[in-house]
Chains A and B, each alone.
Chain A
Amino acid sequence: MSATAGSERARTDLTDIVEGSELPSLSVRLTRTDLIRYAGASGDFNPIHWNDRVAESVELPGVVAHGMLTMALGGRLVTEWLGDPGAVLSYQARFTRPVPVPDVVDGVDDPTLGAVLELTGTVKSISVADDGARTARVDISAKFDGKAVLGRAAAVVRLPA
């Protein structure tokens, strides 16, 4: 998995977060190798994520990424911003559009081809509890080919004191 825009992202000063703050964006290229690695790590061996014939038999354009992998990348957008994967209190998403991950271009094998996902996020609201603890709701967008692949994707996170 190669993250281009995201790899050199500087840590945001989290005390400056306000409603409307944008998270550093993340651009990730997913290849077949990434899908197979995720299948192994997650235990989701549904063949539509590694076998073109099975994917095409259920009217997909070919092998597609796991919805939960796309959701996990949206999670990464948030956890890399916070620097703490344990700060996520809740996270939800709808899988609105499949992400095809091809390995052939013009009839020629190219296992590095894959698909590029663009992930962005915005702080929608900030809440302060009686004890001063701050939480933020972050709306997440994941796009492939300019079109949203996650719907109503949002996380509630604990902000550092």
Chain B
Amino acid sequence: MVDESYVGRTLPPSPPYQVGRERIREFATAVGERSPLCHDVAAARAAGYPDLVAPPSFPVVFTMPRIELFLRDPGFGWRFEGTVHGDQKIEFQRPIHAGDELVTVVRVDGLRTRAGTHMLTLHCAVSTIDGEPVCATEALLLSQEDAG
């Protein structure tokens, strides 16, 4: 049984995630992104960035573990196994680059249940450890309602 009282709640902030150069390179390679700005520090600096630039879908690397932690919380009552990703939005205040130390705050924005399927909207606000906003994401996640 999903606890609807979580809707509107803001969850505790994540520990800082340090964006590493090798993680950016590995992620870029995994999605086939060959831009030198993702691989070559000198090229990124020549283009005006402080360090390697992360591809736009990189925030999944550190936001999804926070989402999973929440979805596996027995207090919320979500069936994690079989969870399906319905849609995803990402909005940047600025690009993410290597060296960033980022804190993710998950907010439970909405929950609807239709024909036995829960539809949950989670918002993640991502900022540096100094409080500079970097990006925000929104994920729609679907899971089956418990039979019982």
**Interface with B: A15-23, A85-93, A105-113, A128-136, which one?**
A85-93
Q: How far is the CB of B70 from chain A (nearest CB, A)?
A: 16
Residue of A whose beta carbon sits closest to that of B85: A67
Residues of B with C-beta under 8 A to A88: 56, 92, 95
Number of B interface residues in the complex (CB < 8 A): 36
Decide yes or no whether B29 CB sits under 8 A from chain A.
yes
Question: Which 3 pairs across A and B sit closest by C-beta, in order of nearness?
Answer: A86-B95, A41-B30, A72-B31
The B contact surface, by secondary structure, is mixed
Q: Chain A residues in contact with chain B, CB under 8 A? A: 1, 3, 28, 34, 37-38, 40-44, 58, 67-69, 71-73, 75-76, 78-80, 83-86, 88-95, 151-152, 155
Once A and B bind, how many residue pairs between them come within 8 Å at the CB atom?
A: 113
Alpha-carbon separation in the docked complex, A93 to B92 (Å): 15
Candidates A34, A43, A90; contact of B90 at CB < 8 Å = A90
Alpha-carbon gap, A69 to B27, bound state (A)? 10
Q: In the complex, what distance in Å separates the CA atom of A57 from the CA atom of B130?
A: 45
Q: Considering the chains assembled together, what is the distance between the CA atoms of A118 and B94 in angstroms?
A: 29
